[in-house]
Structure 1
């Protein structure tokens, strides 16, 4: 009897000392599950967020949101560049009266280089023969790729907010001024067919440049997006590419145009693209001054998804008005990926500001994954987080700080 009493007292004491938190409810067999292979424990960590936030969680209220960058996050290679290459090979760019009309920051040196290379024989508004004029094509490709002319002169100059736009990104839809969104979408579809049919690793000649000729949807991201949608998430794409192009590609993962956020050009009275782009967060339409780029991606997410208006759209919102999962691969994605409340998914392309945030892992929710196709090798030098990782609004590269103002130390590259 005394033994039974002693056992009862010990058991009671152990129960009293045990944590009182409710154990996590295991996912039911019918809950949507990820099936593709991921690096390390990334699949398990993503699945945990899906189970905790999705339809199997039993949580009432608004559907959770997941937001993905597009180029090199959902696909391998850049679909805007693939489409631009196709338009250049098929003479789809119309000659502007002056090249400076395409961008308010285009320099005189770039205007002279483009005019000299592309000529003036073609009437204004007629297609430039870029398929047979490699000098013209080279100037366009080089300016888009590097922001400089073939001779190395700066192609863009002036003042812009470097966390809201980059002129050479905005320049691609501006080059298609005079075309309709339907025409641009048709170019994107043609480029998509070629790029998906080309073997992995294939290249093409555009002018004298050698550029990628293939694109692939990442199987892991397709599986993640499909699983999120089945689990009741609203899935969005946010891209610094042109809307008609991105919409063509996003349909391939089941995301419709209403859930695709990208650079949206204003149209003239004939329904043709102009160099002007829509504004966000109380900023008016500009010639590319505000696009979904770094802080601009946050603004468009807040405005389009959560209905935040005015200057507040540029600010981080409360947890109920932020994505549960956000994914990106470059510094252009760092703000909105950092806003996620459940998982910050990063595809490692060695971009300093994003990788510093990811490896610093301030809230323990950052997931780093190597590129799913042809991953980059190990970066031997640490990321310069403490000195030049931050992209300042004036274009300077400065030290990266945490939310509390402390300095992010340099971080080693460990996932590749």
Structure 2
């Protein structure tokens, strides 16, 4: 782990700050707390004073904070992949589906039916690689040409020949390659998908760390997943202290449901990509959030879309208002994430924002800038990344706009975040 000193930040109990989205919820006074709050049990892996600051938040806002929430449970929201677990459960499921020939053929043989954002080049390439047949499912377990093309579109967002696979989408509300996994589950029931995810989960937990698998003709893919013990401990402690703990993930919800229980989170507190159903079977269309209706396929749990789904499903905000930052009393106290996909819901957290450093530009720009003193950065608990040698390009290209244009990262007041150097990393 880096010996670089962590920048000193304001403590959790600092006077409530005001941010553009609305004033932060005031913490109860220290004298109102008892000394018997649930305690984090695992110290290994926490950087600097991060564990102490999180414990202070638990002591302050939890049930031993003398009714800090005035009758309402404080909310904590975690991203899933590479935040609560090491590696990606959506990827693990996709590889299992392909190896076991569990992807059903597109309706009428038209790959456009699997995603409204799929380009003509991608639809043609997929049709050529995965010829029509009479079987219910594609023979991806044996037909490596078909598997390779699906992997290219899913993993790279390009066809096997390098053409763009998706176009015409809002880069702040949906990543169509993530959504495509949920859409390729069409034709199965949610319970059937859970059984697939469960099989993939068993494989990936049983596999040794650093295991790889061959998918298709020659793709060497990660074949293992591990829960972070530190995050399991944190979730357990938050719940014991009276927090309402949720998961939000850009993997399909039936998949997240299967994995969430292993971290102590019930499926009804997991928000993944939600698909519409017909006659009990998953379709290639997605449920809507905010102003997006079911079947618009435009808002998933991705960047600003995560904010929308959290506001809608956790805080009960309906319609276009769910797309907006809510008053402080209607937001999560704690949030944890690892990627630019988590930026919006992390910014909404009023108490602390835990970032696991995976060298993602916008997220690390905001975390290191720490404009309100409530961001904490930690190396990944398993295989932490080393220091990013070049500064994060915050002042120029760290932000990706709705149309995909790179732009400067800006604070809530509109000022530009200067480039930031990586200072909390593995070693």
Q: TM-score, normalised by structure 1?
A: 0.92
Q: What's the CA shift string for 1:392-411, capped at 9, x where partnerless?
A: 11111111111111110000
For 1:47, the equivalent position in structure 2 comes to 55
The correspondence of residues 267-286 of structure 1 with structure 2, limited to 5 A, is 267-269=277-279, 271-286=280-295
Is residue 185 of structure 2 the alignment partner of residue 173 of structure 1? no
Q: What's the CA shift string for 1:346-396, capped at 9, x where partnerless?
A: 011111011100000011110101111111111000001001111211111
For 2:240, the equivalent position in structure 1 comes to 230
Is residue 78 of structure 2 the alignment partner of residue 72 of structure 1? no
Provide the rounded CA distance (Å) in 2 between the counterparts of 1:351 and 1:236: 23
Shift of 1:202: 0.6
Provide the rounded CA distance (Å) in 2 between the counterparts of 1:26 and 1:34: 20
For 2:380, the equivalent position in structure 1 comes to 371
Greater RCO (Cα-Cα under 8 Å, separation 6 or more): 2
Provide the rounded CA distance (Å) in 2 between the counterparts of 1:112 and 1:86: 25
Provide the rounded CA distance (Å) in 1 between the counterparts of 2:163 and 2:388: 30
The correspondence of residues 253-332 of structure 1 with structure 2, limited to 5 A, is 253-269=263-279, 271-286=280-295, 288-332=297-341
For 2:39, the equivalent position in structure 1 comes to 33
Secondary structure of the residue aligned to 2:30 is coil
Q: 1:225 to 1:188 in 2, by over 3 A?
A: same
For 1:109, the equivalent position in structure 2 comes to 121
Q: Which runs of 5+ in 1 are unaligned?
A: 1-21
1:387 to 396, 399, 416: 396
Q: Which runs of 5+ in 2 are unaligned?
A: 1-27
For 1:216, the equivalent position in structure 2 comes to 226
Q: 1:39 to 1:204 in 2, by over 3 A?
A: same
Query: Greater CA deviation, 110-119 or 290-299?
Result: 110-119
Provide the rounded CA distance (Å) in 2 between the counterparts of 1:149 and 1:414: 37
1:90 to 84, 100, 105: 100
Q: Of Structure 1 and Structure 2, which has the larger fraction of its residues in helix?
A: 1
Provide the rounded CA distance (Å) in 1 between the counterparts of 2:292 and 2:184: 23
Q: How many residues align?
A: 391
RMSD: 1.3
CA contact (8 A) 2:33 2:64 kept: yes
Provide the rounded CA distance (Å) in 2 between the counterparts of 1:108 and 1:156: 9
Q: 1:231 to 1:23 in 2, by over 3 A?
A: closer
Shift of 1:29: 4.8
Shift of 1:66: 0.1
Shift of 1:24: 2.6
Provide the rounded CA distance (Å) in 1 between the counterparts of 2:29 and 2:321: 38
Provide the rounded CA distance (Å) in 2 between the counterparts of 1:67 and 1:150: 37
